[in-house]
Amino acid sequence: MASSNQQPVHHFLLVPLMSQSHLIPFTDLAKVLADHGQQVTIVMTPLNAARFNNAIIDYAMNFNLKIQFLLLSFPGQEAGLPKGCENLDSLPSLDLTAKFFQASNMLHEPLEKWLQDLESLPSCIISDICLPWTSDLALKFKIPRVVFHTVSCFTLLCSHNIKRYEVQDGITSDSEPVLVPGVPDRIEFTKAQLPESQRKSSDDLNNLVNQFKEAELSASAVLVNSFEEMESGYVKAYQKFVNNLWCIGPLSLCNETTSNKLRTGNKTSIDEHESLNWLNSHKSRSVIYVCFGSLSHMLPPQLIELGLGLEASNCPFIWTIKKIDYTPELEKWFKEQRFEERIKGRGLIIRGWAPQVQILSHPATGGFFTHCGWNSTIEGVSAGLPMITWPMFAEQFYNEKFVVQILKIGVKIGVEVPMNAKVLTVKREDVKKAIKQLVDGGDDAEERRKRAKKLGEMAKRAVEKGGSSYLNATLLIEHVNQQGKSYQR
């Protein structure tokens, strides 16, 4: 993205949820704002700051950008979390999620104290939708507040209308389809595919969802990590329900330099040049990249079945396995079966974190096997890749529907319910079949590739100077300028 020195300089305070899937787009948003000449402070906890220091602070110094961290101690132990759990992906069990949110809410007090001690307050707070208490801070200090969504407008509109029309009420069967009213296309989900907040009814969940909605409605503007050309009908429809909705993505495309595509904040488990050299040895668009995000977990039997399916496909692949999933049991199977020897030259296994954006944008990568988290989905779109979709929980079935039915660039692996780690959900035959359909699916596969490539080109134009997302970033800065004048009167 090109810098712009035309706008006044404001100080933006970014307050993300301490989860990798939220921190990544927030830090990319910081780069976009700083690239537009703005000053940015990002709330961070010590362990998360260590993850992102090279990707953000060093980046800012190299490009003379005004980005800094505000370090706040994460009160995890006070909330009952094990020591060192400062990121949602570091929880030993997702059963601790409620305590993680409790700890996140406890950041309210130290952030308030920091604001009280400042001589000059920030011009704007950009807060995570998951942190509704930021609305109280904004009101107390009379600071304009903007909400940032790390999901698509498609998901926002579907979720909003399902709740608004109460369409899931009275549906008792998890397999019964739910028709989403008031959206541009005919969209159906089963009850089982809805996020937990919509699938289950409890006072705690309802109160939480209502807090999120109130915080969104009271914000002066709403940002979305998407771009208008990709989902224009859903953008226009959701704009009716909130103030000043602007798409400013794909934010991952702010990382233009090759070295900075390693920006995720975690150290990779493989040398950058090793993965690049491996990809360089393969034909254009021939490799499938397989990765399932930071929060999805698989037990060894499912990982083994996946590996056997990848092997049986005879298609070159890079397979990322999270460290928490790379158990002694799985390592034993790899060694006893000499799996890596069998796939040598055709398959590369990365244990731990991988340079995903760099891999996706490499000319040899021809497809993305994904869990359909929104960050991964929009990164796949930005790289111009068709996808194999394996949603597991949260809004990932929404994203699959968007990729397969609306964008028509995806092949479903075939799961219809959220993942149960103890059940073998996907068989090797399913993996082999989906890859064959993506790679060798005749005219349908070719059309998917063409559509994906076109979307990738549209995404890049959106963030370039004069593009829709670039202009929306300037509108945000002008909005903050006007909000500041109204507060001064």
At 329-354, the pLDDT tens digits run: 999 999 999 999 999 999 999 998 88
Q: What is the pLDDT of residues 114-147, one digit of tens each?
A: 999 999 999 999 999 999 999 999 999 999 999 9
Q: What is the pLDDT of residue 265?
A: 55
Residue 110 has, within 13 A of its CA and on its CB side, a CA count of: 15
Q: What is the pLDDT of residue 52?
A: 93
Mean pLDDT, the chain, whole residue set: 92
Q: What is the mean pLDDT of residues 239-263?
A: 81
Sequence-separated contacts (24+) of 421-424 with Cβ below 8 Å: 421/297, 421/298, 421/299, 421/302, 422/299, 424/301, 424/302, 424/305
Q: What is the pLDDT of residues 297-317, one digit of tens each?
A: 899 999 999 999 999 999 999
Query: Measuring CA to CA, how many Å separate 120 from each of 21, 40, 363?
Result: 31, 14, 48
Q: What is the pLDDT of residue 266?
A: 57
pLDDT confidence tier of residue 273, bands split at 50, 70 and 90: low
**Cβ atoms within 10 A of the Cβ of 281, count?**
11
Kindly list the structural domains of the chain, giving each domain's residue range(s) and its CATH number in brackets, ordered by start: 11-254+464-488 (3.40.50.2000), 266-460 (3.40.50.2000)
Q: What is the pLDDT of residues 396-448, one digit of tens each?
A: 999 999 999 999 999 999 999 998 777 888 999 999 999 999 999 899 999 99
pLDDT confidence tier of residue 481, bands split at 50, 70 and 90: very high
Q: What is the pLDDT of residue 186?
A: 97
Dist CA 206 CA 362 (whole Å): 44
Q: Dihedral sign, CA of 262, 266, 272, 278?
A: negative
pLDDT at 226 over 60: yes
Q: What is the pLDDT of residue 170?
A: 72
pLDDT confidence tier of residue 1, bands split at 50, 70 and 90: very low
Whole-model pTM: value is: 0.94
Name the residue type at position 348: L
The tokens describing 400, both together, are 């699959």
> Which residue stretches of 441-467 are H helix?
442-463
Q: What is the pLDDT of residues 31-76, one digit of tens each?
A: 999 999 999 999 999 999 999 998 898 889 988 999 999 999 999 9
Q: What is the pLDDT of residue 57?
A: 86
pLDDT at 256 over 80: no
pLDDT at 451 over 50: yes
Q: What is the pLDDT of residue 94?
A: 81
DSSP 394-442: TTHHHHHHIIIIIS--EEE----S---TTS--S-HHHHHHHHHHHHH-H
Q: What is the pLDDT of residue 176?
A: 87
pLDDT confidence tier of residue 10, bands split at 50, 70 and 90: very high
Q: What is the pLDDT of residue 209?
A: 83
pLDDT confidence tier of residue 478, bands split at 50, 70 and 90: very high
Q: What is the mean pLDDT of residues 278-286?
A: 95
Q: Are 193 and 394 in contact (CB under 8 A)?
A: no
pLDDT at 489 over 50: no
Give Dmax over CA atoms of the chain in angstroms: 73
Q: β-strands 67-71, 39-44: how paired?
A: parallel
The tokens describing 478, both together, are 């002008």
